[in-house]
Amino acid sequence: MTIPPLPDLILDPIVRLAITEDLGQAGDITSDICIPKHARATAQLIAREEGRIAGLDAAALALRLIDPEAHLQIHIADGQDAPAGASIATLQGSARSLLTAERTMLNFVGHLSGIATLANDFVNAIAGTGAHIVCTRKTTPGLRALEKRAVRLGGALNHRFNLADAILIKDNHIVAAGGIGAALTRARAAIGHLTAIEIEVDNLGQLAEALPFGPTAVLLDNMSDSELRQAVAMVANHTGPNRILTEASGGVNLTSVRGIAKTGVNYVSAGAITHSAKRMDVALDFE
């Protein structure tokens, strides 16, 4: 899957922070001491296990910031699958520069490829059901834009990027607002025509209470598959002026997700895609 790289305006401060963190106050003293200044090197970015690649835009910028003259040739692009042992990219340049950039590059590619791979596993698990997998805001602070892009590279979709993207009324909002009706009434009165309203419901009684207000979507939280099927039927039978979308959430994993998707919900949200993805094993090997 081809997804455009993040604009440098977004990517640059994230990568600069990672490099600054790694360089510390004195830079890469090991490479500066042990490696001759004019030594050149060629290295391969290797996938030690199969997976969906992501994070090469961040890795390429990290190398460019360390050494604008270093060269990176990509063989397996973001959004493509790498078999175990494959060369993802070839790096050429100052040996010191490649060694200095190595860990930052691997951190981005390993972490983000792990997310893309897990996202793709979820997508494959529900193939043919008609449902879509979406991620959540359970992301690593500071890395949300990169992680959300990795989710898309894995073939899944993004939920909200931030609190300003849409109105999502959750259980604590309902309590603080004084109930489902009060929260939805205020939301409908305040928003423009392009702002979506989603409300979380924990049971079928709450769903019945929310439907007359015509939210854009209902978040069916921690319901059993049987309850989800009933909820989907209730939404389908609702006679309001707008179509209401259904989203299932809560404890979603690769074992449970297909059963959830087969209940007829439109979307299944899985926080695990970003908060529990296993880092893909990627290495930088000098020739």
Cβ–Cβ under 8 Å, residues 89 and 75: yes
What local confidence, expressed as pLDDT, does residue 20 receive?
Answer: 97
Q: What is the pLDDT along the chain (287 residues), one digit of tens a residue?
A: 678 999 999 999 999 999 999 999 999 999 999 999 999 999 999 999 999 999 999 999 999 999 999 999 999 999 999 999 999 999 999 999 999 999 999 999 999 999 999 999 999 999 999 999 999 999 999 999 999 999 999 999 999 999 999 999 999 999 999 999 999 999 999 999 999 999 999 999 999 999 999 999 999 999 999 999 999 999 999 988 889 999 999 989 999 999 999 999 999 999 999 999 999 999 999 99
> What are the boundaries of each domain within the chain?
8-117+278-286, 125-275
Told to judge if 37 belongs to the known catalytic residues of this protein, a careful annotator would answer no
Question: Which pLDDT belongs to residue 1?
Answer: 64
Q: The tokens 């990027």 sit on which residue?
A: 161
* Active-site residue flag, 221: yes
Nearest partner of 77 among 41, 49, 109, judged by Cα: 109
Superfamily of domain 8-117+278-286: Quinolinate phosphoribosyl transferase, N-terminal domain (3.90.1170.20)
In sequence order, the 6+-apart residues with CB closer than 8 A to the CB of 14 are: 58, 142, 143, 145, 146
**Is 138 one of the catalytic residues?**
yes
User: Catalytic site residue 148?
Assistant: no
CB contact burial 60-96 (16+ within 10 A = b; e otherwise): bbbbebbeeebebebebebbbebeeebbbbebebbbb
Q: What is the CATH number of domain 125-275?
A: 3.20.20.70
Catalytic residue among 170, 188, 243, 278: 170
This prediction's pTM: 0.96
How far is it, in rounded angstroms, from Cα 158 to Cα 267? 11
User: What is the per-residue pLDDT for 239?
Assistant: 86
Q: Could you tell me the CA-to-CA distances from 52 to 5, 154, 187 in Å, in that order?
A: 16, 7, 39
Set 138, 160, 186, 258: catalytic member: 138
Annotated active-site residue in 48, 103, 229, 258: 103
Active site residue 69: no
